[in-house]
Amino acid sequence: MNKTKELLITSFALFSLFFGAGNLLLPPLLGYQAGENWFWVIIGFVITAVIIPIIGIYAHAKLQGTLYDFGKKVSPAFSLIYCVLIYIVAVAIPSPRTAAATHEIAIHPNFNTSPLLTSSIYFILVLVFALNRSKILNLIGKYLTPFIVIMLLLVIGIGLFSSQMLTNPSQFEAPIVNGILEGYQTFDAIGAVVVGAVIIISINLKVKDSFEAKKELIKKSGFIAGFGLFVIYAGLIAVGAFYGSEIDVNSALSSDMQRANLLTGISKKALGTFGNTILSVLIALACFTTAVGIVTGTADYFKGLIKNSQTVYVITAVLASVIGVVVGQLDFNSIIVIALPVLLFIYPITIVLILLNAIPDRFASNTVFRVVVLLTFIFSIPDVLNFLSPSTDLTQVISSIPFASHSLGWVLPAFIGFILLNFKTFTTKAITNQ
């Protein structure tokens, strides 16, 4: 296999990893709400939905390990709890969300069935495929992503070139922050730490070059995959900002299905009814393959955790599917709301673990890991509590923490802790060497 082909295959594999069909509902509405500030929203969204996840893949390449290895420098117990928590979150939020997206994009507009019926049939099929490990989905997945990308590029191109390029006034006071927090909802950083190891192992098996050559391959393919994600995400945000203003707002945004209705409205204007139907079916299939992947991966993890038991695999797959039915009957926007406090807690920890594992080891000792993660955890608590139960006392606490009013109170303490610990370490070494 020549170098160019290796690079393209690896780039496409990374792109497919992060290209979640459910995530396509996020950018158009974000752009619509950002209005004239759509460019700044793109910057924030790309930080947490593209840049951090790609760094996560690089961290996996450096570690050559699993999800467990991401947190083991903090402590084995922490890493185990973190892994279990990540998989529970995966089956409780992004997996059911694929059912909600499928219902709102493809099922409800054509059949007007109840979301409970959709999620029930959906996860019965997910369970069947997860228990039988059919290779059909792998074959479908290889061809789905290119077709969806082509259709989306048509939507973006036609939408931008045929729109009046007019935007609504922005609904955001801090558009970059809104973009960052909405980027949490893609779950791409979590996807990087969970599935990244599988991608790295696959590369190691297929590519026979040296370790440094493989790292270079991953860097280049990461850049290409990241650029592809940037084009799709930024394009959909821009289309939402410009073309979204031409959609019938009363019919598109008045219901709980506002995200799906806006994307559908834009798609119909750009591709026509037939083109929109094809895109809807493709997105629904992509959502399904994602759900099967999440349920299978989670069941595999708990199977390996408990003596490689097949019984544990089956029980986990059944429980994950039941959770999918229960949560998946909610509308997409409600799942977004439910996910936010969870993401305000787990995403900052995931981000610092990615960054600490990606930087040179001399800057990321075990002590640095422990202190930075602890500070991130402590200063994320007010963000979560303020979302769940706002109070005057809590507001006063948040007002005293820099960036906490934007749900980013953990950033400065974690950064200061990192700098001070490294300054102390290098100062001590310099004194010792004198």
Q: Where are the domains of the chain?
A: 3-354, 359-434
140-154: per-residue pLDDT in tens? 667 788 888 888 899
Q: Would you state the pLDDT for residue 203?
A: 73
End-to-end CA distance of the chain: 53
pLDDT of residue 137: 62
Q: What's the pLDDT band for 194 if we cut at 50, 70, 90?
A: confident
Could you tell me the pTM of the whole model? 0.89
Supply the pLDDT for residue 30: 92
C-alpha dist (Å) from residue 238 to 15, 28, 40, 173: 20, 8, 11, 18
CB 194 within 8 A of CB 297: yes
Specify the fold of 3-354.
Amino acid/polyamine transporter I (1.20.1740)
Contacts of 246 (CB under 8 A, 6+ apart): 163, 164, 269
How confident is the model over 344-371, as a mean pLDDT? 94
Name residues whose C-beta falls within 8 Å of residue 118's C-beta, 6 or more positions apart in sequence. Answer: 99, 102, 103, 107, 108, 328, 329
Closest by CA position to 12, among listed 100, 143, 208, 112? 143
- Both structure tokens of 189: 């950083």
**What pLDDT band is residue 432 in, cutting at 50, 70 and 90?**
confident
- Asked if residue 376 has pLDDT above 90, the reply is yes
**Is the CB of residue 166 less than 8 Å from the CB of residue 245?**
yes
- In whole numbers, what is the pLDDT of the chain averaged over residues? 86
Q: Give the pLDDT band of residue 421 (cuts 50, 70, 90).
A: very high
Average pLDDT on 271-275 reads: 87
pLDDT (average), residues 188-193: 89
Query: Three-state SS for 405?
Result: helix
Q: Look at residue 254 in the predicted model and tell me its pLDDT.
A: 44
Distance CA 361, CA 267 (A): 47
Q: Are 35 and 167 in contact (CB under 8 A)?
A: yes
Q: What was the pLDDT predicted at 134? A: 66
What pLDDT score does 93 carry?
93
* Cα–Cα distance, 323 to 205 (Å, whole number): 35
Residue 119 has pLDDT above 80, yes or no: yes
Question: Which pLDDT does position 250 carry in this prediction?
Answer: 46
Residue 388: what pLDDT?
Answer: 83
Residues 233 and 256: beta-carbon distance below 8 Å: no
Least confident of 155-164, 180-189, 341-350: 155-164
Lowest-confidence region among 118-132, 264-278, 364-378? 264-278
User: What average pLDDT score do residues 190-215 get?
Assistant: 74
User: What pLDDT is stored for residue 246 in this prediction?
Assistant: 66
* Interhelix angle 332-358/76-92, nearest 10 degrees: 150
The alpha carbon torsion through 101, 178, 385, 92 (nearest 10 deg) reads 20
Residue in this structure with the two tokens 């895109």, named with its chain if needed: 279
| pLDDT tens string 204-255 | 766 666 667 777 777 888 889 899 999 999 999 999 888 766 665 444 444 4
Categorize the per-residue pLDDT at 177 as very low, low, confident or very high, splitting at 50, 70 and 90.
very high
Q: Identify the residue with better confidence: 362 or 213.
A: 362
pLDDT for position 138: 65
3-class SS of residue 64:
coil
Predicted pLDDT at 245: 63
Those residues with Cβ within 8 angstroms of residue 132's Cβ, 6 or more apart along the chain or in another chain: none
- Residue 13 has a CB neighbour count (10 Å cut-off) of 16
State how far the Cα of 33 lies from the Cα of 160, in Å rounded to an integer. Answer: 17
Q: What is the pLDDT of residues 298-334, one digit of tens each?
A: 998 999 889 889 999 999 999 999 999 999 999 888 8
Please report, rounded to a whole number, the percentage of residues in the chain having pLDDT higher than 70: 90
Mean pLDDT of 397-402: 85
Cα 148 from Cα 382, distance rounded (Å): 40
Give exposure, 380-405, as e/b (b: 16+ Cβ within 10 Å): bebbbbbeeeeeeeeeeebeebebbe
Residue 398 near residue 409, CB atoms below 8 Å: yes
